[in-house]
A and B are shown apart, each in its own frame.
Chain A
Amino acid sequence: MINGLFWLLGCQVLGEIGVRLLHLSIPGPVLGMAILFALLSWRRPRASASVFRASDGLIKHLQLLFIPAGVGIVTMFGQIGHAPLPLLGGLLVSWIAGLTVVGWLASWVLRLTERTSR
């Protein structure tokens, strides 16, 4: 568990350093995720490795980590109360648009590539 956390935090630190050195506008942990993915593809650790145990543990309870931010919304009721229409409208429309665009594009490209490979 500690060893696994060491790898996760190590990748996060590398990510933070990389983001600052390269002046990227992505969050450090996201670059850390890309670094860990590259490491995993390269080293191919066995399924019982501590990185996997630590990661599975964290991901299983991922939702717990959002709760403090969620509680924060209580302090922001003012802002939402002023603008429920833009927020709800934007959320609904962009959610439906994103879902259908990905669904259509993916099935269209899948049909194309599978027809040409046959």
Chain B
Amino acid sequence: MFLTIAGYRLGLEVQKRARGHALAQPVLVAVVAIALAMWALDVDYAHYLNGASVIGFFLGPATVALAVPLHRQAHHLGRMLIPMLIALPCGALVSIGTGVLIVRALGGSHALQLSMAPKAATTPVSIAVSQTIGGLPPLTAVLTIIAGILGAVAAPAVLDLARVRDRRARGLAIGAVSHGIGTSRALREHSTEGAFSGLSMGLTALVISVLTPIVLMIL
């Protein structure tokens, strides 16, 4: 427990020093620091998790809390309803489908395919979905966080290449594949982009948890 909070504090500090550089993610820094500390102190994971389980408990209420940013963006919902109803489920289908199929094509095991499927949803949701469908939740967590960091580092450049210029569309796209970490970058690009990214992240969480079991049944 103490180790986790200390690692997180260190991560926040590093992020501040690096002036919010996309690679200075508190989670990454904390995980590396904690892993090193566990190795140095000879603590095993089961023992660590025993102390850190209090933190895991809050993932449930935190997921419920995502309704709040969604509620704050609700006034956008009306006009954006049709674009979102078309783009977000299609995007979720594409990211679940290509994720599973490419892991399979490159020779990944069934468990790896299942762990890849929900990675576009925000982390508490992707972990929960992974658990429900029989993936490896810790692996899903890491894949999800990496997808977020990819978004923070590269999403604006990829969208420029793809010639997506509408701020609203760019925001929806970033939130749909890179959840909260991507949203923080979208917010720095433009406030509209950030708002739509947050909206998209909340809805994508819902869509992914509904669609993942269905897509897996078909594939």
Contacts and interface: CB of A to CB of B under 8 A. Distances in A.
B68 interface: yes
B173 A100 contact: yes
B123 A66 contact: yes
Contacts of A21: none
Contacts of A92: 150
A5 B127 CA distance: 21
B116 A90 contact: yes
B125 interface: yes
Nearest to A44: B71
Given A67-B27, A71-B31, A62 B64 contact: no
Contacts of A56: 68
A97 B102 CA distance: 12
Interface in B115-171: 116, 119-120, 122-125, 127-129, 131-133, 136-139, 141-143, 145-147, 150-151, 155, 158-159, 162, 164-166, 168-170
Interface string A7-27: 011011001000000000111
Interface string A68-96: 11111111100110010111011111111
B112 interface: yes
Interface residues of B, number: 111
A65 B116 contact: no
B195 interface: no
B74 A67 contact: no
Nearest to A52: B68
B63 A73 contact: no
A63 B27 contact: yes
Contacts of B55: 64-65, 67-68
Interface of B: 4-5, 7-8, 11, 25-28, 30-31, 34-35, 38, 45, 48-49, 52-53, 55-56, 58-71, 74, 82-84, 86-88, 90-92, 94-100, 102-109, 111-112, 116, 119-120, 122-125, 127-129, 131-133, 136-139, 141-143, 145-147, 150-151, 155, 158-159, 162, 164-166, 168-170, 172-174, 176-178, 180, 200, 202, 205-206, 209-210, 213
Given A104-B164, A106-B87, 11 more contacts: A9-B60, A9-B64, A29-B59, A37-B71, A64-B26, A71-B38, A91-B150, A98-B91, A98-B177, A99-B151, A101-B90
14 contacts: A12-B60, A29-B60, A41-B74, A55-B65, A76-B136, A79-B112, A96-B158, A97-B98, A100-B162, A101-B87, A102-B173, A103-B170, A105-B91, A113-B83
Interface of A: 5, 8-9, 11-12, 15, 25-30, 32-37, 40-41, 51-52, 54-56, 58-59, 61-76, 79-80, 83, 85-87, 89-107, 109-110, 113
